[in-house]
Amino acid sequence: MKILFVPHTPTRELINRVYEFSKMTDSYFLSWYIDNSSFRNKVFSQLKTIFQKNKLENNILTIPLLFRPEGLAVVFNTFMLNYVIKKYNIDLIVNANAWMFNVKDISVPVVYDLVDDHLTINHEVGVSAKRLYKIQEDLRASRGIICVTETLQKKANRFNYNTLTVENGVYIERFSESYSLKETLGLSGKKVYGYIGGVNAWTGIDKACDAYIRIKNKTNAMIVVGDDDSDFFKNLKIKYSNDILFIGQVSPERVGNYFKTLDIGLIPFDLNEYTRNAFPIKALEYGLAGAMVISTKLSVLEEKNFPFIEFCEIRDFPKLMKYIEKKEYTFKFDNYSWKKQSEKILNFINKIDES
């Protein structure tokens, strides 16, 4: 069976669950170019995507895609998708994108990958009433739904009875080969706090930096791994350049070394309906690397009761950061390997195909 995975966003600098699933199942995945760092760059990247060619190379598929106006865009994009479905004999789509296609008009069965909580109106992440209606219709038209958390699965069951939770995963082997960079970074003997991942404003990275400044002394340090060209993050780097080590973007193959460098990993997400139900991959990656984790009260993580995560309000981060210490714990990370999670998806697809 030839499967095409469509990501929610085409970010390949960070671990992207859709891309990991496509690699693990030797499937195709759709890619495009998008740059939201400024209005100018956003327009330029969208124009570039409109004029990209139909091409399949090394399992990476590109097609022309339209973003505005939305009503015309979904019709155009679905037409282009159906064209390559026929051209490359694709049998099934696993779609994690909420905006770009009309599922009911796709010419092969679709399994919807519900990566984020797009089932509640949330203007901060672009879920308007109109978009919410579209997502609900797409879920109804799908052959089945994969959800990143059990919380989302319960919500998705209202629109499609054929659902399954497949959580995010980790590369067990990659982390076993990683090593600490404390000595290389000049941090030997220090307690190292860190944030690794996307650096959008909603992640609360600015609040984490402020929390560290409140407890900064000669015995500790903080690193941030991740980057973008937004004014928000540029200003953040300028403000804290003398106090925090900003590493920049690191390839997924090398990022394990930075996780291994941390004693305490931070998840300072702003809390709303969207983030409360999130299951950030970094939660597992911090733990797999041996770090303790401090997180705001994300409902899904609280329910998991992981032995390496402690929770508090963002205002209490400095106090907990000061007193929390790295400790030994036992946890079966093998249950969250990308390989096992991918096998769940293939089994679900095969079950759907037989029904």
- Give CA torsion, residues 99, 104, 105, 109, to 10 deg: 100
On the question of pLDDT at 145 being above 90, the answer is yes
Average pLDDT over residues 209-235: 94
Residues in the chain: 355
What's the pLDDT score for residue 342?
A: 93
Nearest of 110, 134, 112 to residue 121 by alpha carbon = 134
pLDDT digits (tens, 9 = 90+) for 247-301: 999 988 889 999 999 999 999 998 877 777 788 889 999 999 999 999 999 988 9
Among 295, 297, 287, 301, CA closest to 330:
287
Would you say residue 355 has pLDDT above 90? no
Taking CA atoms, 237 is separated from 33, 217, 220, 227, in Å, by 25, 19, 19, 10
CA 4, CA 108: separation in Å to the nearest integer? 11
* 65-76 mean pLDDT: 90
pLDDT in tens, 71-90: 899 999 999 999 999 999 99
Q: Which of 164, 171, 163 is nearest to 24 (CA)?
A: 171
pLDDT > 70? residue 56? yes
Residues 5, 15 contacting (CB under 8 angstroms):
no
pLDDT of residue 44: 81
pLDDT, tens digit (0-9, with 9 covering 90-100), for 107-138? 999 999 988 777 777 666 666 788 888 999 99
Distances (CA, A) of 282 to 44, 261, 300: 31, 14, 14
CA–CA distance, 221 with 83 (Å, rounded to integer): 53
DSSP 248-283: E---TTTHHHHHHH-SEEEE-PPPSHHHHT---HHH
**What pTM, to 2 d.p., does this model score?**
0.81
Q: Is the pLDDT of residue 13 over 90?
A: no
Kindly report the average pLDDT of the chain as a whole number. 90
Strands 92-95 and 292-295: unpaired
Closest CA to 299 of 281, 316, 275, 283: 275
- Reading across the β-sheet that carries 3-6, which strands appear in turn? 55-57, 60-62, 28-30, 3-6, 92-95, 110-114, 144-147, 163-165
Whether pLDDT at 15 is above 80: no
- Specify the pLDDT at position 143: 94
More confident residue, 43 or 152: 152
Number of other residues whose CB lies within 10 A of the CB of residue 17: 24
Angle at 226 between CA 316 and CA 338, to 5 degrees: 95
Identify the structural domains of the chain with CATH numbers, from first to last: 3-169+337-354 (3.40.50.2000), 172-330 (3.40.50.2000)
**Between 328 and 121, residue with greater pLDDT:** 328
What angle, 0 to 180 degrees and rounded to 10, lies between the N-to-C axes of helices 338-354 and 17-24? 70
Average the pLDDT over 9-32 and give the result: 84
User: In whole angstroms, what is the distance from residue 32 CA to residue 204 CA?
Assistant: 27
Q: Judge whether residue 16 has pLDDT over 90.
A: no
Within 8 A by CB and 6+ apart from 285, the residues are 15, 170, 175, 196, 256, 259, 265
